[in-house]
Each structure stands twice: as structure tokens, then as C-alpha cells.
């Protein structure tokens, strides 16, 4: 029964059965009520007929009474006159002499007790019932009238065709009604349109289903958003791969070009160190690019989600030490304002990389003799790192773009004296890392005149011991 597993099938079956039962019950109730009222009417009629006849023979002798009765025009009614001792005196259907004593008959006994009575004697076999009415006369004789009538079973039997027809009609009507109701109940379910947007899709739905539909709708949108995000990520990744290959090509071309010149003996011996230095620098920048690409792809894969307690102040101190030589080379002073112990949760190499990139930029994009100021503080429950410089700064309209991968501000202006520019990935790494650590990075104008890069991270409360 596959049909019963569907909502429609089940609703239909229940409604069909219900309407069948209801209609049948109503029909049976009406039929039996009308049959019993028909019977009691018949009883009354026969009793009053008996009383009228009794009235006719009241006060007459037995033989007179028999004569009077003989003259009465009974058709289907049996008329019997019984003497007080039960002897049958008269019967219009049989010879009284051949009839046995009636004193024990139910209707006779009861009539003797209560004067007048009706008794229905059901036949043992199907067919007919006999209705008796008996009235006792003043003389003690009892007048009895009897009528044979169709029993309920034979009454129904005689109507079997009509019964079959109406049963069939009941089934058909129940079927049609059940089908109509089922459609009405199921239609709002069928008409739910999950493709249309928001409230529109549940406008016609059942109240009870609305929370579910709203949830489905929300999940669908979530899924769409996720898909869009995934697609964006795929596009970004493809672009990134293209950019990486492009960025790798130029240093490789330089390297292989110079190497080829040297190989072919086209470089004067005194120029060899200069060419070797160029090759060295290009391979350095390639290595830097590869390092940055690796860091970024680790961040993309969320591989670096360690949650250690990392001292931001100590990370700044280590970065300052690492970059000391580079700063000195450009006559740049690194100032540290790390008067607090500021702790963040994350991976130490990542935190250090972030600080390194910012301080490195503050040196790289600064003019000779400038200053790079690194400050760390706890502010309103956040760990705040600021890296200031007094260089050219980042033009206001480019402040969002500098965090994009491979984005570099006009290199001729920012890149100091022939120094190779960065990979264009440094700030992208900073932004991504800050995000991974639950914070964010921004750039603004520094009070020193150059750029101020600020990272705000959720600070971890470490016991002060």
C-alpha cells in the first residue's frame, strides 16, 4: 500500500472511511427509527380495531358474538374469540374445534391480567412476524385479532435492490467528498514554492508549517551565500595563482638573462661582481615572494589556528632586533614603546610575522634618517599595536587597496633608492593574520607625518605574575 505512505493517501483513507461510517450509521439509525415507529403505529391501529370489534360484541352471548364476528369483513386479519377457559369459540382462518386450548397463550394470559394488550411474535425463521391484539370482554371472553406482517429482515430483503443502489451511492458520494476534502487539505502543501523569496514562499502555507519553512528558507539563503563565498574564493585563488606566476617570471627572466650573458662570456670580468649581485638580489626577492606565498596559503587553509599565549611586546622586541641592521643601513631609528606586557592568543610565528611586515614597511618606505615607532598597549580590553613612521605615508584613497594581494603604491615614489620593492603581499598577510587572530588592521595618517598602521586584537588576560 504505497498510497498510505503519502500524506494525500492517508488523509484520503481516513476521510473516506470516516464519511462511510458516518453516512452508514446515520442511514441505519434513520431506518431503524422509522421501522420501529411504523411498528408501533401498526400495534396501535390493530389494538383500536380490536377494541372496536369488542365493543360490537360486548354484552352478547358467545353464539351471538360468533355470528356478529362472522359478518365482519376481515380480509387479512385473523379474528379469534376465546372463552374464559381458553377454548376457542370462533376463528375466521381455522376450524375452532381443531384448535387447542389457548389459555396459556401469552396474549391471552396478559389480556386477562390487564384487559387489553398487543404482542408481537417473531417467527423463528425469516419471513413474517405476527402481531396480536387481545381485549377481554366483560363476560371474560377474549377477542383477539392477528396480523401477519413482513419482518424487518424480509422488509429489508424486499428492498435489497434499493439498498444496494443506495449503498453504492453512499460509497460514491463518500469517495467524492473524501477526494475533494483531501485536495483542499493537501493543496496548500503542494503549492509551497521554496524557490520564491522569503515570506512570499510561505504566504499560502499552513500556520503550523511556517516556522519550518522559514528555517528552510534561511538555510537556503545561507547555502547560497556560502556558495557565492566559495565561488569568490575559487576566483580569488585562480587570480592569485596567475599573479604569483607572473611575479615569478620577471626575476627569473633577469636571472636567466644575466646568467646567459655571463655564460657566453659577454660580461667583462670587472662587471661580474655587479651582475652576480643583481642575480643575488633577484633570487632574494624570489625567495621572499615564495615565503610570502607559502604564509598566505597556510593562512588560506586555516592551518595556523594555534591558540598560544603570545607576548605582543616580546614579539615587537624580537622584530626590532631582527631589523636593527636594515634600519641602521638607512639611518632609521626604531623606537619602542612597550611599557606594558600585552598578551594575545595565537601562534607566535604568525604574530611575529605580522609585526615584522609592518616594521619592515616602516623602514622600507621611509626616507633616510627617518624614524619607525612601534607601540603596544592594552586599551579597553584590546591589545593595540601601532607602527608609525615619518615617511611619505599612504594616500587616503589607497588606504583600503594597500591590503590587497600584489597591490603596490606607485613604486617610483615609495621605493627608496633602487632598493627592490616588496612582494606586494606583506600587508595582505598582515590583514589575513589579524583576521585569523580575531582582530583587524587599519591605516591612517601618523602624528609623525607618515603612515600609522594599527592592529587591534582581543587581549588575553594573563595572571600578573
Binding site for ligand ADP (CB under 6 A): 357, 361-362, 365, 389, 391-394, 402, 407-409, 414, 421-428, 450-451
Residue with the shortest CB distance to ligand ADP? 422
Q: Would you say 111 or 448 has its CB closer to ligand ADP? A: 448
Q: How far is the CB of 379 from ligand ADP (least distance, A)?
A: 22
Is 204 in a helix, a strand, or coil?
A: coil
Separation between Cα atoms, residue 443 and residue 453, nearest integer Å:
4
Q: Would you say 251 or 391 has its CB closer to ligand ADP? A: 391
Q: Would you say 82 or 296 has its CB closer to ligand ADP? A: 296
Residue 149 forms beta bridges with which residues?
129
Residue 424: name the closest of 283, 232, 240, 252 by CA.
Answer: 240
Q: Would you say 58 or 404 has its CB closer to ligand ADP? A: 404
Q: Would you say 118 or 357 has its CB closer to ligand ADP? A: 357
Max Cα separation, the chain?
Answer: 173
Q: How far is the CB of 393 from ligand ADP (least distance, A)?
A: 6
- Retrieve residue 197's grid coordinates: 523569496
User: Distances in Å between the alpha carbon of 451 and those of 175, 239, 340, 372?
Assistant: 83, 29, 23, 10
Q: How far is the CB of 305 from ligand ADP (least distance, A)?
A: 23
Burial class (CB in 10 A: 0-12, 13-18, 19+), 372: buried
Separation between Cα atoms, residue 429 and residue 424, nearest integer Å:
10
Q: Would you say 43 or 247 has its CB closer to ligand ADP? A: 247
Q: How far is the CB of 218 from ligand ADP (least distance, A)?
A: 38
Q: How far is the CB of 189 from ligand ADP (least distance, A)?
A: 56
- Could you tell me if residue 133 is left (phi over 0), alpha (psi between -120 and 50 degrees) or otherwise beta? beta
CB contact at 8 A, 50 and 145? yes
Residue 82: name the closest of 74, 73, 94, 71 by CA.
Answer: 94
Q: Would you say 142 or 362 has its CB closer to ligand ADP? A: 362
Dihedrals φ, ψ of 341, to 5°?
-90, 110
Q: Would you say 393 or 439 has its CB closer to ligand ADP? A: 393
Dihedral over Cα of 356, 362, 365, 371: its sign: negative
Dihedrals φ, ψ of 165, to 5°?
-65, -45
Separation between Cα atoms, residue 306 and residue 67, nearest integer Å:
127
Q: How far is the CB of 315 from ligand ADP (least distance, A)?
A: 18
Q: How far is the CB of 319 from ligand ADP (least distance, A)?
A: 14
Q: How far is the CB of 364 from ligand ADP (least distance, A)?
A: 6
Separation between Cα atoms, residue 217 and residue 272, nearest integer Å:
69
Q: Would you say 118 or 366 has its CB closer to ligand ADP? A: 366
Separation between Cα atoms, residue 88 and residue 78, nearest integer Å:
13
Q: How far is the CB of 285 from ligand ADP (least distance, A)?
A: 10
Amino acid at each position: 500500500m504505497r498510497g498510505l505512505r503519502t500524506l494525500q493517501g492517508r488523509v484520503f483513507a481516513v476521510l473516506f472511511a470516516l464519511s462511510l461510517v458516518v453516512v452508514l450509521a446515520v442511514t441505519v439509525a434513520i431506518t431503524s427509527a422509522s421501522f420501529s415507529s411504523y411498528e408501533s403505529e401498526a400495534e396501535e391501529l390493530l389494538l383500536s380495531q380490536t377494541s372496536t370489534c369488542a365493543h360490537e360484541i360486548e354484552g352478547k352471548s358467545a353464539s351471538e358474538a360468533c355470528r356478529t364476528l362472522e359478518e365482519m369483513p376481515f380480509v387479512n386479519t385473523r379474528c379469534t374469540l376465546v372463552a374464559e377457559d381458553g377454548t376457542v369459540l370462533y376463528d375466521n382462518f381455522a376450524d375452532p374445534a381443531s384448535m387447542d386450548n389457548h389459555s396459556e397463550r401469552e396474549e391471552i394470559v396478559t389480556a386477562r391480567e390487564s384487559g387489553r394488550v398487543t404482542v408481537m411474535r417473531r417467527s423463528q425463521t425469516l419471513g413474517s412476524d405476527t402481531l396480536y391484539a387481545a381485549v377481554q370482554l366483560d363476560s371474560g371472553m377474549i377477542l383477539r385479532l392477528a396480523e401477519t406482517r413482513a419482518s424487518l429482515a424480509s422488509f429489508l430483503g424486499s428492498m435489497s435492490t434499493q439498498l444496494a443502489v443506495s449503498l453504492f451511492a453512499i460509497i460514491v458520494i463518500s469517495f467524492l467528498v473524501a477526494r475533494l476534502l483531501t485536495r483542499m487539505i493537501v493543496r496548500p502543501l503542494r503549492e509551497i514554492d521554496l524557490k520564491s523569496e522569503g515570506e512570499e514562499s510561505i504566504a499560502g502555507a499552513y500556520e503550523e508549517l511556517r516556522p519550518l519553512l522559514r528555517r528552510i528558507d534561511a538555510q537556503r539563503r545561507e547555502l547560497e551565500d556560502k556558495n557565492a563565498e566559495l565561488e569568490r574564493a575559487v576566483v580569488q585563488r585562480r587570480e592569485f595563482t596567475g599573479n604569483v606566476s607572473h611575479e615569478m617570471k620577471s626575476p627569473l627572466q633577469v636571472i636567466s638573462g644575466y646568467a646567459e650573458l655571463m655564460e657566453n662570456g659577454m660580461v667583462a670580468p670587472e662587471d661580474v661582481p655587479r651582475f652576480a649581485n643583481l642575480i643575488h638580489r633577484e633570487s632574494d626577492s624570489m625567495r621572499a615572494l615564495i615565503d610570502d606565498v607559502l604564509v598566505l596559503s597556510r593562512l588560506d587553509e586555516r592551518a595556523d589556528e594555534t591558540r598560544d599565549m603570545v607576548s605582543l611586546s616580546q614579539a615587537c622586541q624580537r622584530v626590532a632586533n631582527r631589523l636593527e641592521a636594515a634600519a641602521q643601513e638607512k639611518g632609521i631609528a626604531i623606537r619602542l614603546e612597550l611599557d606594558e606586557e600585552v598578551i594575545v592568543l595565537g601562534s607566535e610565528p604568525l604574530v611575529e610575522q605580522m609585526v615584522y611586515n609592518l616594521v619592515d614597511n616602516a623602514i622600507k618606505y621611509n626616507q633616510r634618517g627617518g624614524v619607525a615607532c612601534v607601540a603596544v598597549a592594552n586599551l579597553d580590553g584590546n591589545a593595540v599595536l601601532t607602527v608609525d613612521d615619518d615617511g611619505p605615508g599612504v594616500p587616503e584613497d589607497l588606504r583600503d587597496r594597500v591590503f590587497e594581494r600584489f597591490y603596490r603604491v606607485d613604486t617610483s615614489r615609495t621605493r627608496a633608492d633602487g632598493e627592490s620593492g616588496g612582494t606586494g603581499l606583506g600587508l595582505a598577510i598582515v590583514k589575513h593574520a589579524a583576521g585569523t587572530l580575531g582582530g583587524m588592521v587599519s591605516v591612517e595618517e601618523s602624528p609623525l607625518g607618515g603612515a600609522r598602521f594599527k592592529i587591534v586584537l582581543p587581549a588575553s588576560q594573563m595572571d600578573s605574575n
